[in-house]
A and B are shown apart, each in its own frame.
Chain A
């Protein structure tokens, strides 16, 4: 027979921490790894310094076209056309309205974090889109009306993406639930819609919304072009959201459904209180992935004659006074898209952390 005493925890051996140790284990652990590290470093050396030189150190930031001497980027083009990139053809003296909306958006996000009362949060969420719409389109409270044809640039990109995301989300959830329903007709309708929309490119849907949809309305009913595009994008996005949410729903153990039923919760109570919060939590990475690709897809609205930020760059490039500035324009748009998409993905990570109840 043998007995043993409990042992104390000891500190980790030295030499398993620090920069040298990290380099040794991660970059130069063996010959093959060292070679790969060197090749990687060389590639970084080849690309990053010239890029930084072009973008920052050799770039021209001010002055007129004739004064350009540096070999780098000529950002004066962006500075000159900045307002058009951001606001499209929105009247200049009214730029404060989209600016105000942007600030309200930030305030809105902060308010959602600060507010504890769920009811005031919901009221805020329902009210906010209307406030934004009235501010941008005008026509109420003495605000000058701005037709949707004049909306453009980054403002339009964000607006289309935001409406697409916000409106498609509840529709997508309902479609996902419908697809799992016990009612055969409802289920068939949902599956039919989802599979049809997913089988068709967004461009086709935008064309249909723009050209085919008006055929169903009587003459004289003028249906706003932007609104048609928004409806098309929302329906398109809803089908994708539905499939993402369905994936989440299927990952929820059957026991969760049974427990909520056994406690006497109704179908909708069970869904809203128990199942959806868990299913959506699992789906966050895929949902945000889907939102990000929608954000980039919004650029297709140029097909039906709406000028989002990318279309504005293309348009300003044909300005005879400013020929040959394509590179600067497209690099600028790339940066804008990247910043927006990266922000979305970081925001999703912070939400994921917030909802983590494992530890």
Chain B
């Protein structure tokens, strides 16, 4: 397949923090509408990988193409790519000085230059979708963690992204609230948006992923479709990892 048929391609991406080699020849091709879950031990480079995709992290070697555009260190290109890539963070990163609704209006009105009225309609539509429309005029700190993360997801959807990146979206949540966020993500997955999700929620991976990728020490160790990945792991490192996270 040529590069154009993939939504995301990463080719031999290498990254160093000083002398520390965090990403080692990472190769990744993701088709439009594909759902990919990345897992691995902490420090394995999985967050760094997806943060490279919207240029929150720079990489020193290799090539990344997003929706046909090569990602290079250029303000215009980076903005063009960020306008089509939404990112959900572990710690939500809502803007605490703005109401929930204003949080959702920032990008559509300032980046995509939509009229405010239209932006409000879109925002309310997505707040409805994540079942939180009644909180639109509250401030983020008045909401629970699960509600905040759903607002964060709605904030990304407002820019109508081609790709959604999830960076451990449920790791900072109380156990009771994990499912309400995962439910929203499952719904999204059914709609055909391209999704890359760094998570330890293996149930979610089994349910929605087209492919699961295991990373360790800055490289991709194994990738497979979910059933094979969990039931028939090939590498010893993945067997050990699965043993540890599934044993209790």
Q: Does A265 contact B (CB under 8 A)?
A: yes
Partner of A263 from B97, B111, B139 at Cβ < 8 Å = B111
Q: Is the CB of B93 within 8 A of A273?
A: no
- A263 CA to B159 CA, complexed, in Å: 8
Query: Which of chain B's residues 67-125 have a Cβ closer than 8 Å to chain A?
Result: 75, 79, 82-83, 85-87, 89, 91, 93-97, 106-107, 110-111
- A357 CA to B155 CA, complexed, in Å: 19
Q: Does B228 contact A (CB under 8 A)?
A: no
Q: Does B179 contact A (CB under 8 A)?
A: no
Chain A residues, Cβ within 8 Å of B96: 278, 357
Least Cβ–Cβ distance between A254 and chain B, in angstroms: 9
Q: Does A258 contact B (CB under 8 A)?
A: yes
Q: Is the CB of B95 within 8 A of A264?
A: no
Q: Is the CB of B142 within 8 A of A264?
A: no
Q: Is the CB of A357 within 8 A of B82?
A: no
A261-B82, A264-B79 as given contacts; A273 in contact with B106, CB under 8 Å: yes
Query: Which of chain A's residues 252-284 have a Cβ closer than 8 Å to chain B?
Result: 253, 255-256, 258-266, 269, 273-274, 277-278, 281
Least Cβ–Cβ distance between B142 and chain A, in angstroms: 7
- A359 CA to B96 CA, complexed, in Å: 11
Q: Does B54 contact A (CB under 8 A)?
A: yes
Q: Is the CB of A265 within 8 A of B95?
A: no
Q: Is the CB of B106 within 8 A of A265?
A: yes
Q: Is the CB of A357 within 8 A of B111?
A: no
Interface size on A, residues (CB 8 A): 22
Q: Does A355 contact B (CB under 8 A)?
A: yes
- A281 CA to B95 CA, complexed, in Å: 13
Least Cβ–Cβ distance between A276 and chain B, in angstroms: 10
Q: Is the CB of A259 within 8 A of B93?
A: yes
- A357 CA to B95 CA, complexed, in Å: 11
Partner of A358 from B54, B87, B110, B141 at Cβ < 8 Å = B141
Q: Is the CB of A277 within 8 A of B111?
A: no
Chain B residues, Cβ within 8 Å of A273: 106, 110
Chain A residues, Cβ within 8 Å of B107: 263-265
A255-B91, A274-B106, A278-B97 as given contacts; A263 in contact with B155, CB under 8 Å: yes
Chain A residues, Cβ within 8 Å of B75: 266
Q: Is the CB of A265 within 8 A of B142?
A: no
Chain A residues, Cβ within 8 Å of B91: 253, 255
Q: Is the CB of A263 within 8 A of B89?
A: no
- A277 CA to B93 CA, complexed, in Å: 15
Least Cβ–Cβ distance between A269 and chain B, in angstroms: 5
Least Cβ–Cβ distance between A108 and chain B, in angstroms: 25
Interface string of A277-296 (1 = CB under 8 A from B): 11001000000000000000
In chain B, what residue has the closest Cβ to A266?
B79
Least Cβ–Cβ distance between B36 and chain A, in angstroms: 19
Q: Is the CB of B89 within 8 A of A255?
A: yes
Partner of A265 from B87, B94, B110, B139 at Cβ < 8 Å = B110
Least Cβ–Cβ distance between B82 and chain A, in angstroms: 4
Chain A residues, Cβ within 8 Å of B95: 256, 259-260, 274, 278
- A262 CA to B81 CA, complexed, in Å: 10
Q: Is the CB of A258 within 8 A of B97?
A: no
A258, A274, A281 interface centre (most CB from chain B within 10 Å): A258
Q: Does B56 contact A (CB under 8 A)?
A: yes
Least Cβ–Cβ distance between A130 and chain B, in angstroms: 30
Chain A residues, Cβ within 8 Å of B139: 357-358
A260, A261, A263, A265 interface centre (most CB from chain B within 10 Å): A263
Chain B residues, Cβ within 8 Å of A258: 56, 89, 93
Least Cβ–Cβ distance between A145 and chain B, in angstroms: 46
A274-B106, A357-B141 as given contacts; A281 in contact with B56, CB under 8 Å: no
Least Cβ–Cβ distance between B188 and chain A, in angstroms: 17
Least Cβ–Cβ distance between A12 and chain B, in angstroms: 27
In chain B, what residue has the closest Cβ to A278?
B97
A255-B89, A259-B95 as given contacts; A359 in contact with B106, CB under 8 Å: no
Interface string of B33-69 (1 = CB under 8 A from A): 0000000000000000000001010000000000000
Q: Is the CB of A256 within 8 A of B111?
A: no
Least Cβ–Cβ distance between A250 and chain B, in angstroms: 17
Query: Which of chain A's residues 336-359 have a Cβ closer than 8 Å to chain B?
Result: 355, 357-359
Chain B residues, Cβ within 8 Å of A256: 93, 95
Chain A residues, Cβ within 8 Å of B83: 264
- A78 CA to B107 CA, complexed, in Å: 59
Least Cβ–Cβ distance between B106 and chain A, in angstroms: 6
- A273 CA to B89 CA, complexed, in Å: 20
In chain A, what residue has the closest Cβ to B94?
A259
Task: Supply 13 A–B pairs (Cβ within 8 Å), ascending by A.
Answer: A262-B54, A262-B56, A262-B87, A263-B82, A264-B79, A265-B107, A265-B111, A266-B75, A273-B106, A281-B97, A357-B96, A357-B97, A358-B141
Q: Which 3 A-B pairs have the closest CB atoms?
A: A259-B93, A255-B93, A264-B82
Known: A260-B106, A262-B82. 20 other contacts (CB 8 A): A253-B91, A253-B93, A255-B91, A256-B93, A258-B93, A259-B89, A259-B95, A262-B85, A262-B89, A263-B82, A263-B107, A263-B159, A264-B79, A265-B106, A265-B107, A278-B96, A278-B97, A281-B97, A357-B139, A359-B142
